[in-house]
Amino acid sequence: MNTVAGKRVCRLRRELAAGMVGSVPDGVPAQLSQMLEVIERHLAPTLLAVHLYGSAVDGGLKPFSDIDLLVTVTDRLDEPLRQVLMRDLLEISAQPGRSEALHALEVTVVVRDDIVPWRYPARRELQFGEWLREDIRAGSFEPAIVDPDLAILLTKAREHSIALAGPPAQELFDPVPEADLLGALADTLKLWDSPADWAGDERNVVLTLARIWCTAATGRIVSKDAAADWAMERLPVAHRPVLLEARQAYLGQGEDRLASRADWVIEFVLVTKHEITRLLDADAQGA
């Protein structure tokens, strides 16, 4: 039998189709309705909650923004369900900037008992994103994994999200301790040690580093463009062009040529990682 949240998803899809959901930002309802149809079809029997978070509710979608959805269920997914869910999401997602009708989707599925009570690092059941497109097409599906990034994701959801089904995120999830959030930032930095780690994804890495820097300094999680504005005032002048180009490209206001500016990007990564590490070390010593 469908859960209460599953029935709410069904009703919400009808409301979206009729234009009756005022809390959902402009430009989201059509694709969101498709996402909810996939979730309802595959996850309704175990569904506890669906939360919309990220750019869609924090400053509005930009040309290269993802639509971020956090889905909470009661049971783990078996492999056939994991695969069909990923394939169906692939059909209603598009690579950033490649479609006028579709945004890139990022859908994270968690089992409530894996994250409540909170523990670090926590286990996520599934994550879909455009970076997995070729793997999914090739029949390769990422399994459930322990993911430090859930500390950041759940903090964002608790701070600002729309409960499309189920209770508000502040009620459903425990707060993430500051030490765990900072630990997740430190773990994320380890992903980018050499140019091969950001090749082809320069814009996103540059903007993500600006966000991590802002969060490490202020404790706030802000949008990519807001983080870029914050970091721009603190960067040495020589490194600002990289961040400015990444910000303008993200907003659809300029061309992304960062792949051809390898030396500039390397210097930016080194400078921002140094500043972030300095802040995180100071926080650890003061704890």
| DSSP assignment of 131-182 | GGHHHHHTT-----EEETTHHHHHHHHHHSEEEEESS-HHHHSPPPPHHHHH
Please give the pLDDT value at position 100: 77
Please give the pLDDT value at position 166: 87
Contacts of 56 (CB under 8 A, 6+ apart): 25, 28, 65, 67, 68
Domain map (residue ranges) of the chain = 4-175, 181-286
Please give the pLDDT value at position 22: 47
Please give the pLDDT value at position 138: 97
- Of these residues, 106, 125, 202, 275, which one is catalytic? 106
Please confirm, yes or no, whether 255 is among the known catalytic residues.
no
- CB contact at 8 A, 221 and 211: yes
Please give the pLDDT value at position 1: 42
Tens-binned pLDDT, residue by residue, of the chain (287 aa): 456 666 666 665 665 554 444 466 666 667 888 898 999 899 988 999 999 999 888 877 787 888 999 999 999 999 999 999 999 999 999 987 787 788 899 999 999 999 999 999 999 999 999 999 999 999 999 999 999 999 999 999 999 999 988 899 999 999 999 999 999 999 999 999 999 999 999 999 999 999 999 999 999 999 999 999 999 999 999 999 999 999 999 998 999 999 999 999 999 999 999 999 999 999 877 76
Please give the pLDDT value at position 13: 61
Please give the pLDDT value at position 15: 57
Please give the sequence-ordered ranges of beta strands (E in DSSP) within the chain, or none if there are none. 47-53, 66-73, 104-111, 122-124, 126-128, 145-147, 161-165
